Structure 1
Amino acid sequence: MDDDLIDSGRLPLSRKSLLPGTGFFYPDSLDEDRADERVKEAADGAEAVVVADLDADGLGCAALIRELYDAAVDPEPFLEDIESRLEDDGPAVTDEDDEDEEADGPDSPVALVGASPHNVEDALERVAEYADDGIDAYVCDLCPDRYEYVEEALEALVAHADSVRWFDHHQWDDEVAAAVRNAGVDLVVGDSDEECTTDVALRSLDYEFSEQFAELAAVTRDHDLWIREDVRSDDLADYAYWVDNEEYVAVVGAYGADLPEEALAYVEHRRVEKGKLIDLAVSRAEFKHVGEWTVGVTYGRCSQNEVAETLREQGADAAVIVKPAGSASIRGSEGFERAHEVAAYVDGGGHPRAAGCKPDIYDDMLDYANHWSTQGNATKRVILAAFERVAEAVEETEAADASEDEGVETEL
């Protein structure tokens, strides 16, 4: 295949926003081979390994753990490189599917291994295979839906490592949490309405962190819990999204929540295209009434949080942003705190006001071709059907409660 056909950076934004990035078209086998090599190189000789979700919250945990081990990386080479990136007129990466092979990171005795809720078991398995015996292992900002998904890989890691600690703030199933702890893991789960995972790591690690790291946790929380009272939180989230993971960890480890001028300049540069993609996604939105809720539904490569916020301002209680890669983000509000319940019906999960999913409806490339050409119609239907199921469950619960109240009044 001609490389130009999958290089979305060459497309005008109106078309680019409808298609997944270059990385989507790489076969899983190639991704797996590259992941093996990356983990093998990162873990070679490491004293500790951090397996983390690669957003600002997971990476914030990695910065704390490197501080704990006195293993921080010098941020200056990254900051010096930003100038060349700003001068580069080439296409900007605007979606996780565009991410190619991670840049070779500087050596640190605390290795960083990226993972997602959908492949955490793969990351754990690779660490168990490639890291030295007796390492300290940390898992951050990740929550398995079922213990059997991670059972074999986690038990192998526990047998291989000196210690395994797991920090998170998502909503854990009690049985899954108990099984993880019974496997020999020190699991600490924070209140998802009050803490981000960086908060959890900050209070759980036996170290006297400076105020800079406490502030980093607070600003990370501001974005991760969608509080949005600190303007710096969007800067952190965008910077984590747009730069190499090692760069983010090195920079916030040195500067905390107050990003240096070079990093802020890069963020502002990237936001020009980000804003245009947000506008395109908002322009495609439709509003559906499900039960007592108004649901804004749209499609495109975009920053889902900003799109959801705009749809809320336009009257939506909940927002669904379907991505070209087939996944979707579900965002709630004060009037809708059941995003995780909707996602659970569609092979996903998350928080009451923020969840994600990827419906299992793509059997071949024709299904994806239909997905792109119809702007995600099949995925939208599946997720709206999940909203209907949640609405029906709410109605049944309310009816049962009303019947019970009537029975009590009759007895009185």
Structure 2
Amino acid sequence: MDDELIDESGTPRSRYTRLPGKGFFYPDSLDEDRAEQRAKETVEDAEAVVIADGDADGLACAAMIRETYDAALDVGDFEAALERRVADDVGTDDGDDADPTENAHVESPVALLAAGPYSIDTSLERVAAYADDGIDLFVCDLCPDDYEWIAEPLEALATSCDSIRWFDHHQWDDETVAAVRAAGVDLVVGDSDEECTADVALRSLDGGFDDRWAELAAVTRDHDLWIKEDPRSDDLADYSYWSGAEEYTTVVGAYGANLPETVHEYLEDRRVEKTARIDAAVDRAVTHAVGEWTVAVTYGRCSQNEVAETLRERGADAAVIVKPAGSASIRGSEGFKHAHEVAGKVNGGGHPQAAGCKPDIYDDMLDYAHHWTTEGQACRRVILAAFEDVAASVAAETEETADAQNADGSDTQNADGSADTGSDSDDTDE
């Protein structure tokens, strides 16, 4: 493929935000080979290995673990590279200097593998394959949907590692908790309504952490639990998304929640583009009435949480952001807590107010071409059908509850003798 076809330089935003990023056009087989080799380089000869979610919460844990091992990298190299990156964006640097952080993934004795919830097994397999015996292994901010698919590599590592510690704050089922602990893992799961995983790591690690680390955990929690009271939490979230795992871990390890001016300059530059993409996605949104809900559906490469929040502010009970890569994010509200049910009907899952899916409707590149040129028409159609199914189920459950109450004679009488059906308490959407 001609590189110019996927080069965004000079291409109108209205066009390139309708297409996936460059990584989409890189074959998975080649990407997996490269990831395998990089993982091998990363964990070989390491004293400890951290498998962490690549967001601000998971990487804050990685920074804390490196602090306990006195294994942080030199932040100056990353700041220098970041300064050049900002300069390149405004055309004041020729970009010929070598990047001093290019091999950062092999430089700390505490290796870091960024992972997602659906790649925990792969990361565990790579540690089992390439790490030395006797290492300390940490898993942070990741929750397996089912124990079986991580059982083999985790149990193998339990026999070769000196220790395995797992910190998280997501909702675990009791069977998975019991199985992970039975494998010999020191598992600590915090209250997902009260703590982020950085909080869990901070209170679980014996690192003699000063107030800077408690502040980092608090600001990370502010974003991860969507409290949104500290403006610095957006800085952490954006920076973790736009930077590499090694860079973010090193910078917050050195500065905590108070990021240096170089990072703020970088964020300001990136946010110009971010805001424009949000605006474009919001402008493309179309609302649909589904049962008692207003569902806003849009399309594009954008920051999904901010788009969803804007659509909620404009009256949507639920927001769907269809992505050019074929997946979709579903976000709810206080009036809609069924996002996971909708996603579950279209090859996905998640939480009541935040879920994701990728409908199984893409058989070849022609299907993707249709997806891009119609702004996800087929994907929208199957997700809206899933909303209709969930709305019908909720309505049926509400009716059954009302019928059961009537049959039991549970209606109470008001002073004037009229029936009080208690409709507020029967609102199943809440």
* Contact 1:170–1:351 under 8 Å retained in 2: no
Give the structure, 1 or 2, with the largest relative contact order (CA under 8 Å, sep 6 or more): 1
Aligned to 2:284: 284
* Contact 1:9–1:16 under 8 Å retained in 2: no
**2: CA distance, partners of 1:333 / 1:378:** 25
Deviations 1:30-68 (A, max 9, x none): 111111111111112111111111111111111111112
TM-superposed CA distance for 1:410, in Å, is 6.2
User: Cα distance 1:396–1:79, how it changes in 2: closer, same or farther (>3 A)?
Assistant: same
**1: CA distance, partners of 2:135 / 2:382:** 44
Structure 1 window deviating more from structure 2 (125-134 vs 334-343): it is 334-343
Aligned to 1:25: 25
Answer yes or no: is 1:78 the counterpart of 2:78.
yes
SS in 2 for 1:65: helix
TM-superposed CA distance for 1:411, in Å, is 10
TM-superposed CA distance for 1:317, in Å, is 1.3
Aligned pairs for 1:5-404 within 5 A: 5-89=5-89, 103-105=102-104, 107-404=107-404
Deviations 1:377-405 (A, max 9, x none): 22222222222333233223322322332
Any unmatched runs of 5+ in structure 1?
92-101
User: Cα distance 1:363–1:158, how it changes in 2: closer, same or farther (>3 A)?
Assistant: farther
Structure 1 window deviating more from structure 2 (179-188 vs 26-35): it is 179-188
Aligned to 1:96: none
**2: CA distance, partners of 1:143 / 1:366:** 35
Structure 1 window deviating more from structure 2 (356-365 vs 53-62): it is 356-365
TM-superposed CA distance for 1:103, in Å, is 4.2
SS in 1 for 2:409: helix
* Contact 2:405–2:411 under 8 Å retained in 1: no
Q: Normalized against structure 2, the TM-score is what? A: 0.88
TM-superposed CA distance for 1:9, in Å, is 4.4
- One-letter identity of the residue aligned with 1:105: A
Aligned to 1:98: none
Structure 1 window deviating more from structure 2 (319-328 vs 330-339): it is 330-339
- One-letter identity of the residue aligned with 1:151: A
* Contact 2:319–2:331 under 8 Å retained in 1: yes
**2: CA distance, partners of 1:402 / 1:54:** 46
* Contact 2:169–2:192 under 8 Å retained in 1: yes
**1: CA distance, partners of 2:35 / 2:104:** 14
**2: CA distance, partners of 1:71 / 1:290:** 53
**1: CA distance, partners of 2:119 / 2:171:** 18
- One-letter identity of the residue aligned with 2:191: D
Percent same amino acid at aligned positions?
67
Structure 1 window deviating more from structure 2 (62-71 vs 246-255): it is 62-71
Please identify runs of 4+ aligned residues in structure 1 that moved more than 4 A: none
TM-superposed CA distance for 1:173, in Å, is 3.0
SS in 2 for 1:138: strand
Aligned to 1:95: none
**2: CA distance, partners of 1:173 / 1:10:** 49
- One-letter identity of the residue aligned with 2:19: L
* Contact 1:290–1:391 under 8 Å retained in 2: yes
**1: CA distance, partners of 2:379 / 2:152:** 32
User: Cα distance 1:338–1:218, how it changes in 2: closer, same or farther (>3 A)?
Assistant: farther
- One-letter identity of the residue aligned with 1:281: A
Aligned to 1:94: none
User: Cα distance 1:4–1:235, how it changes in 2: closer, same or farther (>3 A)?
Assistant: same
SS in 1 for 2:113: strand
SS in 2 for 1:145: coil
Any unmatched runs of 5+ in structure 2?
92-100, 413-430
* Contact 1:8–1:22 under 8 Å retained in 2: no
* Contact 2:169–2:195 under 8 Å retained in 1: yes
Paired residues in the alignment total 402
**1: CA distance, partners of 2:310 / 2:75:** 35
**1: CA distance, partners of 2:195 / 2:411:** 44
* Contact 1:170–1:350 under 8 Å retained in 2: no
User: Cα distance 1:54–1:312, how it changes in 2: closer, same or farther (>3 A)?
Assistant: same
SS in 2 for 1:88: helix
- One-letter identity of the residue aligned with 2:260: P
Structure 1 window deviating more from structure 2 (20-29 vs 165-174): it is 165-174
SS in 1 for 2:333: coil
